Amino acid sequence: MKKVLVLLSEWGYWGEELVAPLDVLDAAGYQVDFATPTGNRPVALPPSMDPTFVDPPLGRPVVSDEMAEKVKRIDNPQNPRLDSPITLSRWFPDRPYWSAEKAIRQWEAYYNAVDQAQADLVQYDALLIVGGSGPIIDLANNHRVHDLILGFYKMRKPIAAECYGVACLAFARDFNDRESIIRGKHVTGHCKEYDYLDGTGFMGTELNMGPPPYPLEYILQDATAPEGRYHGNFGKEISVIVDYPFVTGRSTADSQVTGQKLVEVLERGLTRYGW
C-alpha cells in the first residue's frame, strides 16, 4: 500500500483542492496522512462549499452541488478524518537566529534534527500540498514546510502542489545555496488572469486582503528561470504539469487531474506531462 502525506493550511483550504485528489488517492487504495503547521484541524474556505458562489475572474460558479456536499462532509467537525493532523512544528525544528547564544551549537542541533525528521519521510511515497488562500499565510514562507519539501526532494519522491500551494516549491531552498528546487523545471500555478482583484480572505479573521499579496505567476516565472518555464495556460480549462518529481495544478478545476497524474507518477513512472 502506498502512503501519501497531505499538507494543509490552517487559514483555509479550497475544498475541491483537497477532496478531488483525495478521492483519487482513496480509489487507488492509498493510505493518506494529514499534516498542518501547528496541528490544528484544517478548515475549508466557505465559498468552496457554496454552489452559488461566482468566481469573480471567471464570472461563473465553480463549485458543483456534488462537490459542495463532499466538502461539507469532510469539513464537518463530526467527521473525524481531519482530526488530529500531524503537527509540523513538533516534527521539524525551528531555525535559530545567528545572533543566538551559542549559535554554532544551536545550528548543529538544528541540522541534526532536520536530518532526523527528514529520515522519517521514508515511510511516505509522495507529498501533496493543498491550495487555497490559506497557504499564503502559513505555508509559503514556513521554513518547516521547506524542510519537509526538501526531505521528499532529496529522496526523489513525487511532490504535488495546487494553486497557491505551488508557492511553497518556489521558496523551498537549501539554506546554503538558496536556489529554488524548481529552477530549470516546468510548473503551473495560479495565473494573473485568475487572481482576485478584491476579496482574498482567510479563515479565523475578517481581513479582506484585496488581491493576493504576491503574484504567484511572477514568482514561478523567476524561480524556474532560466532553463525552466511557468505555464499559465490561460483560457485552457485544465492546466496540470508533470516535470518529475513535481506535479503542479493551476487551480480548482485542475484538482482531480492533479491527483490522477500523481497516481500515474507512482504507478506508471510518469515523468513528463502537459508541456
Look at the chain and report how many structural domains it folds into.
1
Tens of pLDDT, residue by residue, the chain (275 residues)? 999 999 999 999 999 999 999 999 999 999 999 999 999 999 999 999 999 999 999 999 999 999 999 999 999 999 999 999 999 999 999 999 999 999 999 999 999 999 999 999 999 999 999 999 999 999 999 999 999 999 999 999 999 999 999 999 999 999 889 999 999 999 999 999 999 999 899 998 888 888 999 999 999 999 999 999 999 999 999 999 999 999 999 999 999 999 999 999 999 999 999 99
Distance CA 101, CA 118 (A): 26
Grid cell in block for residue 96? 535559530
CATH assignment of the domain containing 10: 3.40.50.880
| Residue 132 C-alpha from the chain's centroid | 9
Domain of residue 96, residue span: 3-273
User: Which amino acid would we find at residue 111?
Assistant: Y
**Are 85 and 41 contacting, i.e. CB atoms less than 8 angstroms apart?**
yes
Residue 273: name the closest of 186, 178, 214, 205 by CA.
186
Nearest to 6 by CA among 125, 120, 154: 125
